[in-house]
């Protein structure tokens, strides 16, 4: 099973390859259309948060609205 950290390391390695193995260039990358761009520092920009009752409720409301709009 692939772990999240292994995926982030692979994305970081790809970014370094793209920028000729210059970490400073990876940090200054302006290619925001690249799917790897948010992960270029080897970190998840939005790590998983603990689910609270409020988050679960809002997630349920979103899925319910999505199902209603598909009808």
pTM of the model: 0.60
Q: Is the pLDDT of residue 66 over 70?
A: no
Q: Which residues of 42-60 are buried (b: 16+ CB within 10 A; e: fewer)?
A: eeeeeeeeeeeeeeeeeee
Share of the chain above pLDDT 90, in %: 39
Residue 15: closest CA among 6, 4, 25: 25
Q: Give the model confidence (pLDDT) of 40-60 as tens digits.
A: 998 888 776 655 555 545 555
- Nearest to 36, CA basis, from 58, 11, 60: 11
């Amino acid at each position: 099973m692939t772990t999240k950290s292994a995926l982030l390391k692979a994305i970081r390695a790809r970014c370094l390859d793209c920028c000729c193995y210059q970490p400073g260039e990876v940090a200054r990358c302006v290619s925001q259309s690249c799917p790897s761009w948010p992960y270029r520092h080897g970190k998840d920009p939005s790590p998983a948060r603990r689910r609270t009752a409020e988050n679960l409720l809002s997630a349920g409301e979103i899925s319910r609205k999505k199902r209603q709009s598909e009808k």
